[in-house]
Amino acid sequence: MTTTTPLDLTTDLTTLTARLCDLASVSGDERALADAIEQALRAYPHLEVLRDGDAVVARTRLGRASRVVVAGHIDTVPVAGNLPTRLEGTGDDAVLWGRGTVDMKGGVAVQLALAAALSEPTRDVTWVFYDHEEVDAALNGLGRIAREHPDWLAADFAVLCEPTDAGLEGGCNGTLRAQVRVPGVAAHSARAWTGVNAIHAAAPVLARLAAYEPAAVEVDGLVYREGLNAVLIEGGVATNVIPDRCVVTVNYRFAPSRSVEEAAEHVRDLLGGYDVVVTDSAAGARPGLDDPAAAEFAAAVLGVTGGAPAPKYGWTDVARFSELGVPAVNFGPGDPLLAHKDDEHLPVAQLQLCHDALRAWLTA
């Protein structure tokens, strides 16, 4: 275990969030933060603390009638000159700026504070702090735990503390990436008529994508907005060579009512006549708000925050819980539209709001 200044889980939420953010943990470099979290949680005798790689799990064993998981990832996308954190304003108007404030160390701070404070929750709680969420899905720490220690995630319900602007977001869209491979014939650019320009030949692919009208799909009472877009294009080998190959990478965000197979078929139908190869995919998750445990959570949390459930448009790890048969929702501080942005910032009032809502649920 590396040596670092111990985390004080009893300090105010703003200070704790800043401390977590300033202990930088870009994906692949989470060890110091994981060590600090493990060290801090081991100070509390009501928690059993487990470790797998740079993922830390702490759980109560009180023999309650139900068990819930509250999870969050501890890694961030790369820092862009936005650390150390800085606090602007005071009171309810205070804003904490810096990488990770939104995605998602504000949520992690709420988790840690509650894990330390709630020695007698009315439900047994498994607190999960995991690594490698912001990179390739194969490296995801929650996925690794699900494969190697599925019993650690056994529960009746799960909450992922991803940023939701302190609102309740059910389920998530699925995501699929595919390469559209367009062939050509190489030639000297001075004699272009002897070849076939693969980049030019990709124009109809881009035209179909530009004209595509994404659907809005109602699933269990929530309306999910889909999207299908070109996100990368590559082709060409030199400035005097007609390209013999062009690859357009597309990303399809699809409603959780579709399976991955149905999503892939939809992309192939739209781009019929082209070589379409799926390179990465992850199923979405239905809202699951009709589950009794989810309904209890919604009632308790919305009683504090107000508002109504909304869909999660992006993909989150609620889908992993869904695959395990555990209903799950997204709930955490921070505007998701600010995630990964250089001006990432968090209204600190949302930290207390989410803390109080989760505490009301776990002590009801």
Which amino acid makes up residue 73?
A: H
Contacts of residue 341, Cβ cutoff 8 Å, sequence gap at least 6: none
CA distance 134 to 4: 24
Computed from CA positions of residues 61, 355, 314, 18, in that sequence, does the dihedral angle turn out positive or negative?
negative
Is the confidence at residue 5, as pLDDT, over 80? no
Band of residue 4 on the pLDDT scale cut at 50, 70, 90? low
- Mean per-residue pLDDT, 33-57: 98
List helix spans (H) across 23-119: 31-41, 106-117
Band of residue 314 on the pLDDT scale cut at 50, 70, 90? confident
Residue tagged active-site, from 133, 156, 317, 335: 133
Q: Are 109 and 351 in contact, with CB atoms under 8 Å apart?
A: yes
To 10 degrees, what angle do helices 13-22 and 349-363 make? 110
Contacts of residue 133, Cβ cutoff 8 Å, sequence gap at least 6: 27, 73, 75, 140, 141, 142, 317
Q: Which residues pair with 251 in a beta bridge?
A: 177, 229
Q: Are 311 and 223 in contact, with CB atoms under 8 Å apart?
A: yes
Q: Is 79 exposed, middle or buried (0-12, 13-18, 19+ CB in 10 A)?
A: middle
Return the structure tokens found at 168. 């309740």
Secondary structure element (H or E) that encloses residue 96, with its range? strand 95-97
Question: For the segment 52-98, what is each residue's pLDDT rounded down to a tens digit?
Answer: 999 999 999 999 999 999 999 999 999 999 999 999 999 889 999 99
Q: Annotated catalytic, 213?
A: no
Percent of the chain with pLDDT over 90: 93
Q: Annotated catalytic, 75?
A: yes
Contacts of residue 317, Cβ cutoff 8 Å, sequence gap at least 6: 71, 73, 133, 140, 142, 160, 162
Band of residue 288 on the pLDDT scale cut at 50, 70, 90? confident
Is the confidence at residue 3, as pLDDT, over 60? no
Is the confidence at residue 203, as pLDDT, over 60? yes
**Residue-level pLDDT at 91:** 86
pTM: 0.88
Q: Mean pLDDT score of the chain, rounded to an integer?
A: 95
Residue tagged active-site, from 38, 75, 103, 169: 75
CA distance 95 to 256: 34
Return the structure tokens found at 62. 């009180």
